[in-house]
Amino acid sequence: MEPMHPRLSYRRTGSGEPLLLLHGIGATMDDFSALVPRLAEHFDVLNVDLPGHGSSPKHIGRPTISALTDVLEADLDAHGLDRVHVLGNSLGGRLAIELAVRNRALSVVALSPSGLGLPPERVYQGALMTAARLLNKARNPFIEPMSRNVLGRTALTTGLRAMPWKTTRAEALSVKGGFAESAGFWSMLWDAILTDVPTGLDRIDCPVTLGQGVLDTVASAQTVRYVPLIPGARFVPLPWAGHAPQSDCPEAIVDLVRRTAARASTYCR
């Protein structure tokens, strides 16, 4: 039987237990470029482009959290993977939590996950994402040359990183395949972020670490609200880090992933 949705674009590297990386809306798998070499020393890393981003095809139908998680589950099945460790950022963090609800996660590290914003916070976040989409579509012809120097990379990732000058060229280019060119951006923003309400969090039976940069100006107080709703969840603030902290504090994130994964053996499976 043919799959309902085309396969997601991915890169796989490293060895060990499987680790799935999930970026946020408006980015691509390259948003993790600073982390992948470090994580591949410890895990079999599967880094994917979410539907409509980078080289992955647009989602067929409404891109709700449930529908996007269906796609991720189908891809895990296609790779012969049952349960995996998951590291996700923003929308990717929310999807990581949903995989845990469905018992497909061995452990989760969710960095600034969406899903629990209050109505005014959702309006604010929607306005930020709208501005980022329009700005990057307008400067799309200039993103590639901008990514070649520190000033350009800083301009491309300011607002997402606390220290955007540390961004790699690949990370800076992720806004091209994301905010500038992603297909189905507006429907994903509406269905997967602005109107999403998480349910079933009490069913999660794996270690979950919720991380957030202390300089995150996008997700506000959403992250810590997950703690009382997920059994055994832990919250870790990330100093001098922003909403997408992958290049702000890569070593701290790798440490979170390793320590959270090590706790998985203490949970029932």
pLDDT digits over 162-213, tens only?
Answer: 999 999 999 999 999 999 999 999 999 999 999 999 999 999 999 999 999 9
Residue 2 lies in a domain: no
* Pairing mode, strands 105-111 and 84-89: parallel
Give 95-123 pLDDT, tens digit per residue: 999 999 999 999 999 999 999 999 999 99
Is the pTM for the entire model greater than 0.75?
yes
Three-state SS for 40? Answer: coil
Residue 1 lies in a domain: no
Which CATH number characterizes residue 208's domain? 3.40.50.1820
Mean pLDDT of 156-164: 96
The answer to whether position 4 is within a domain reads: no
Average pLDDT, the chain: 95
Give just the sign of the alpha carbon dihedral 96, 45, 129, 178: negative
> Which range marks the domain in which residue 78 is found?
10-266
Q: Does residue 5 lie within any of the structural domains?
A: no
> Is residue 211, in this structure, part of any structural domain at all?
yes
Q: What percent of the chain has pLDDT above 70? A: 97
Q: Taking a C-beta distance cutoff of 8 angstroms, is the pair 172, 68 a contact?
A: no
Q: DSSP letter string over 8-34? A: PPEEEEE-SEEEEEE--TT--GGGGTT
Rounded distance, CA 196 to CA 24, Å?
Answer: 15
- Per-residue confidence (pLDDT) for residue 1, from 0 to 100: 36
CB 19 within 8 A of CB 87: yes
| CA 55 to each of CA 29, 50, 121, 196, 212: distance values in angstroms, whole numbers, following the listed order | 10, 9, 31, 25, 28
User: Does a structural domain hold residue 87?
Assistant: yes
Asked, for residue 199, whether it belongs to a domain, the answer is yes
Instruction: Count up the domains in the chain and report the number.
Output: 1
* 53 is a domain residue: yes
Helix (H) or strand (E) holding 38: helix 36-39
Q: Who contacts 110 (Cβ-Cβ below 8 Å, separation ≥6)?
A: 88, 89, 93, 94, 96, 97, 208, 209, 210, 211, 223, 226
